[in-house]
Amino acid sequence: MNKTKIIATVGPATADKNILKQIIENGVDAFRINMSYSTPTFCRGIIKIINELNIELKSHAAIILDIKGPTIKINRILNGKAYLKKDDKIRIYRDAVLGDCTKFSVDYKNLIEDIPLNSKLVIDGNIELKILEKYDDCLLCKVIKPGEIKDNFSLRLPNVKLNRNYLSLQDKEIIKFASDNDVDFLALSFISSSEDVLEVNDLLINIGNEHLQIISKIENDFAIDDIDNIIKVSDGIIIDRKDLGIEVPLEKIPGIQKRIISKCHASGIISVIATDLLSSVNSFDYPTRAEVSDVANAVLDGTDCIMLSDETTIGKNPVETVKLLENILNTVEQDIDYEYMLEKAIKTEKRDATGSLAYSVAGCALRLNCKAIFTPTMSGYTAKKISRFRPICPIIAPSPNELTTKSLALNFGVYPILIDDLQNLDSIIEKSKKLAKDVLQLKEKDNIIITGGYPFKKIKYTNFMKIEEI
């Protein structure tokens, strides 16, 4: 039972009920659907399957929709693709043209106005162009790094801020779709400031959705510069190392990752590490030593989640990849400095009842070698607080609210369980002991901690902690 959560991106390799079932059984806590490549019809089908599997397996796998954000896409290319040779000249037109190896157009009309001369353009993360001239109808570019372009390839403008609203009409429709279909998390692509996050938050307020949590993706220098404010208005952060590597020197990314994980932990929000964690498994049957170390360092630094992308969208064996990752996480978590994480978190914790009790719970679990923490919850608030203090044992969060159980899918060490109802305290204690025996195979004399707000459904803060012996 790993504490660090696993997110799997759904793609051709996993868009099958049997495969999805196997990866849930092997430790996946949430599924990401990238709306840059998916349709609402595909999403409905995947959501339906995961909801069915959650009932069948008594699991609580969450759904994350990754919205496109202010991306720029290449329009149609003759025969679907063209090769750009090094030092060749190519024109990028404002109005739609059928592209080839000398020209193409994009779906953003203000590209010519927004980009300065001598700037670089990056296509699909690999091909690089330099802007030589600007005309009324097109840009004249030189190919610096060659490669093959295709229809709908993304075009990036490193260190250039676009003069446009964050949310497109299509993104607004996707967010409403997410709300209507009880999606649990929104991943916001290509944000550049906290204002972008607030634009999404305002839309959620307008449509009356209090369930969807916002996970902001850090993919450019602008977001790094405003990271403190972005953290304040987000429920979590995804460090997308692929897109970040287009704008930031690769040697800086490990330090950026470490700092953002630390900031998220200090602020009590989720941190997610994404891209190229186990890429070797796409081609081989085992990860490299460097990849295992990469995952381990993220866990030891305190990340909440590891996200698989290509490994589960186009990888040759997504189920085995999840098994490998689960094994790595279980092993590395034994080396986490739980006392350090506990003392680090209390330095920035609010001086209130819930925070103080959460700190005490995690501290007692460490000192008394408790085997589990039970936190009956309606909203998940107490479970999230305790997760921040990184207790050494699992946090079991029984709740009668199905949306609450799924909202806890990404929090470190939290294992939600759907129950019929929260009754009186004596009943909860007996149920917790039974769950400890049934779910965790605990033995006589093992200690557990029960905490929460009592009376249940009435008190909105944590006000008790009880240590029980099995």
CB 411 within 8 A of CB 379: no
Indicate if the pLDDT at residue 16 is higher than 90: yes
Predicted confidence (pLDDT) per residue in 305-352, tens digit: 999 999 999 988 999 999 999 999 999 999 999 999 999 999 998 888
**Total domains in the fold of the chain:** 3
Under the banding of pLDDT at 50, 70 and 90, the label for residue 115 is very high
Alpha carbons 200 and 321: distance in angstroms, whole number: 33
Strands 147-150 and 81-84: antiparallel
Nearest Cα neighbor of 393 from 350, 449, 439, 435 is 449
Report the pLDDT value the prediction gives residue 164, as an integer from 0 to 100. Answer: 87
- Determine the average pLDDT of the residues in 347-365: 90
What was the pLDDT predicted at 419? 83
| High-pLDDT (> 70) share of the chain, % | 98
Q: Say yes or no: 127 and 188 in one domain.
A: no
- Same-domain check for residues 140 and 230: no
- 97 and 197 assigned to the same domain: no
Residues 19 and 151 in one domain: no
Q: In the predicted model, what is the mean pLDDT of residues 41-55?
A: 96
Distance CA 461, CA 382 (A): 8
User: Are the C-beta atoms of 298 and 261 separated by less than 8 Å?
Assistant: yes
The per-residue pLDDT for 53 is 97
pLDDT at residue 446, as a whole number: 86
pLDDT at position 424 is 67
Q: End of a domain among 286, 302, 333? A: 333
Q: 283: pLDDT confidence band, cut at 50, 70 and 90? A: confident
- pLDDT for position 350: 84
Same domain, 183 and 312: yes
Q: Cα separation of 10 and 20, whole Å?
A: 9
Q: Which of 134, 156, 178 is the last residue of a domain?
A: 156
What is the structure's pLDDT at 435? 74
Q: Alpha-carbon distance 335 to 81, whole Å?
A: 48
Reported confidence tier of residue 469, pLDDT bands at 50, 70, 90: confident
Q: What is the pLDDT of residue 457?
A: 66
Q: Is the pTM of this model over 0.75?
A: yes
Q: How confident is the model at residue 422 (pLDDT cuts 50, 70, 90)?
A: low
The single-letter code of the amino acid at 442 is L
329 and 311 within one domain = yes
What token pair was written down for 456? 């249940």
Alpha helices, DSSP H, located in 115-238: 169-180, 194-206, 221-225, 227-232
Give the chain's mean pLDDT.
Answer: 92
Based on the fold, state whether residues 426 and 351 are members of the same structural domain. Answer: yes
Look at residues 137, 156, 175 and tell me which one is the last residue of a structural domain. 156
Assess whether pLDDT exceeds 80 at residue 86. Answer: yes
- pLDDT tens sequence across 207-222: 999 999 999 999 999 9
pLDDT of residue 21: 97
Same domain, 200 and 235: yes
CATH code for the domain in which residue 28 is found: 3.20.20.60
pLDDT at 411 > cutoff 80: yes
On whether both 400 and 307 belong to a single domain, the answer is: no
Measure the CA–CA gap between 103 and 187, rounded to whole angstroms: 33
For residue 427, the model assigns a pLDDT of 74
pLDDT at site 110: 92
pLDDT at 278: 87
Using left for φ > 0, alpha for ψ between -120 and 50, and beta otherwise, residue 289 falls in alpha
Local confidence band at 285 (pLDDT 50, 70, 90 cut-offs): confident
Buried b (16+ CB within 10 A) or exposed e, 266-287: bbbbbbbbbbebbbbbbeeeeb
In CATH, what number is assigned to the domain containing residue 363?
A: 3.40.1380.20
- My answer on whether 262 and 376 are in the same domain is no
Q: For 268-278, how does the pLDDT look when each residue is reduced to its tens digit (9 = 90+)?
A: 999 999 988 88
**Cα 28 from Cα 305, distance rounded (Å):** 10
Cα 185 to its chain centre, rounded Å, is: 8
Q: Peptide bond before 249: cis, by omega within 30 degrees of 0?
A: no
Residue 224 has pLDDT above 80, yes or no: yes
Same-domain check for residues 196 and 291: yes
Whether the predicted pLDDT of 36 surpasses 90: no
Average pLDDT over residues 346-363: 90
pLDDT digits (tens, 9 = 90+) for 64-83: 999 999 989 999 999 999 99
Q: pLDDT at residue 463 above 90?
A: no
Write the CATH number for 104: 2.40.33.10
Q: What is the pLDDT of residue 436?
A: 74
What pLDDT shows up at residue 423? 67
pLDDT at 421 over 80: no
Tell whether 104 and 27 lie within a shared domain. no
Q: What is the pLDDT of residues 229-268, one digit of tens each?
A: 999 999 999 999 988 998 899 999 999 999 999 999 999 9
Domain holding 196, by residue range, is 5-69+165-333
